[in-house]
Amino acid sequence: MTGHRKKNPWMRVLLYLFVFVLCIVILYPYFVMFTTAAKTREEMYALNMTIFPKEWKWSNFVDVWSQAPILRYFLNSLIVAGGATCIAILCGIPAAYAMSRMRFKGKGIFLGAVIMSQMFAPVVLLMGIYRLMLDLKLTNNLLGLILLNAAFNQAFAIWLLRGTFLSISPEMEQASKIDGCNTMGSLIRVLLPMAAPGIVTTLIFVFINAWNEYTMALTLISTDTFKPITVGLNVFNGFNMIQWQYMFATSIFATIPVVILFLCIEKHLASGLTAGGVKG
C-alpha cells in the first residue's frame, strides 16, 4: 500500500483535493450563517445583498442575549439532551448485553421490533404522543421531553451497543469469571471498558439527536420557561419580519456545546480500544 502511494503521488494529491472540497461543502453553510449573523438589519433586506457584510456588526453576537432568554433556552436543552442521553445509555447497555450474550425465546422478534421502531418518525405519532403527555400531565415539562427523546433514541442505542458487545471476544468475559467475577462484575470491569468506543459513539449520537429535536418540543412546550434552544429560536421570527442576524447568531452559539462535547470525549475513542485486557 505504501509502495503504491509512492509510485502514484497524484493519488495522494487527488485524495487531499477531495478532502479539501468536501470540507468546503460541509463548512459552507456555517460560513454563510456566520457572515449573515454579522450583518445589519438594513443589509439583511437589501436587494443587492452579498455574502460578506458591507459593515461587520459584531454587536449582534452580544445583543442577542438581551433580545431573548437565550441562556434559559440553552439550559433547558442541556437538561433535556443530557437527561435523555443518560437514560438511553443506562437502559441500552443491559439491553444490548442481553441481546449479545444471552439466549432466550423471542430474541429475534425483539431485535426485529427494535429495528422496526426506527421506521416510525415522531411526527407520525405526534397526536398520540401529545394525548399521552397530556394525560400524564407532562406537557410544558422538561421531564416529558427527556423521556420522549430517550425513548426515540433507545432503539438506536441498543442496536449500536449490541454490535459493540458482539465485537468483544466472549473469552474475555469467561476469563474474568474464572478470576471470580460474576456476570455484573464482568460487565462492569471488563466489557464496559472495552466497549468504551461504542458507548462514546452512542453517547454522541443520542446527545446530538436530543439536542436538535424540534417537532416534539414545539408541540409539547408553549411557555418560554421550558423551551429548548431549537424552539426558542422562533422568538426572532416575528409577525412581519424575521431577525435573521439574531437567529443565525444564536444558531452559531447552539452548535458550540455539541462541538465541545465531541472535543472532550474524542480522545476516549482510541483509548477505550486497549482497555479491559485479560489478567495475565
**pLDDT tens profile 42-69:** 888 777 778 888 888 888 899 889 888 9
Contact 77, 228 (CB under 8 A): yes
Structural domains in the chain, sorted by start: 68-274 (1.10.3720.10)
What percentage of residues in the chain have a pLDDT greater than 70? 92
Helix axes 70-101, 142-166, angle to 10 degrees: 40
Buried b (16+ CB within 10 A) or exposed e, 58-69: eebbeebeeebb
Determine the Cα angle at 254 with ends 248 and 146, to 5°.
135
Does the structure show a pLDDT above 70 at 256? yes
Q: Please state the pTM of the whole predicted model.
A: 0.82
Q: Of 90, 80, 79, which is closest to residue 203 (Cα–Cα)?
A: 90
**DSSP 8-state secondary structure symbol assigned to residue 108:** H
Only one residue has cell 410544558, namely 140
Question: Tens digit of pLDDT for each residue in 91-143?
Answer: 999 888 888 887 778 777 877 777 777 777 777 888 888 999 999 998 898 99
Q: What is the pLDDT of residue 211?
A: 93
Question: Tens digit of pLDDT for each residue in 135-188?
Answer: 999 889 899 999 999 998 988 898 888 888 888 888 777 777 777 777 777 788
Taken as a whole, the chain contains a residue count of 280
